[in-house]
Amino acid sequence: MQEFSATGPLVGGALIGLSASLLLLFNGRVAGISGIFGGLLFREPGGAAWRAAFVAGLLLGGLALAAAHPGAFPPAGGGGSLGLVVAAGLLVGLGARLGNGCTSGHGVCGLSRLSVRSLVATMTFMATAAITVYVSHHVLGAAR
């Protein structure tokens, strides 16, 4: 088990806040990943270039971290079949569409703008996550 260090999470959080602030400042857009990615998929008018650059930056940032610090991403295990992972991803996408945003849009950007709707959405995300962990570990007996 790795010893906890707050440095990585603090730097990561600061970078997320900085990128969200810069996107709002220069594009007037909220950094909700589901909306940015959805705009690419459904070809919403205006802004395909910045949307593609934002998504590419997310992917390239992860790849750069994996190359610089391979231990940052533990080996995958017990995640289930590819079909299960695809189904889970589609359900998360559907939930983000139904909730008019995802954790990044509501949790990072909405809460910082004191949005009551984002507060309710974020509390719902967190409660659902807690229930899911409880059910998967204590009811279904999934491996930890």
pLDDT of the chain, 144 residues: tens digit per residue: 567 788 888 998 898 889 888 888 988 888 888 888 888 888 777 788 888 998 899 899 889 988 998 887 777 666 667 788 788 888 888 888 787 888 778 888 888 889 899 899 899 989 988 998 899 888 887 655
Q: How high is the pLDDT of residue 62?
A: 86
Side chain identity at 70, as an amino acid letter? Answer: P
pTM tops 0.95, yes or no: no
**Which residue ranges make up each domain of the chain?**
7-139
Q: What is the distance, to the nearest Å, from the Cα of residue 29 to the centroid of all Cα atoms in its chain?
A: 17
Distance CA 24, CA 49 (A): 16
- The single-letter DSSP state of residue 75 is P
Distance CA 68, CA 60 (A): 12
Residues whose CB falls within 8 Å of the CB of residue 38, separated by 6 or more in sequence, listed in order: 44, 96, 97
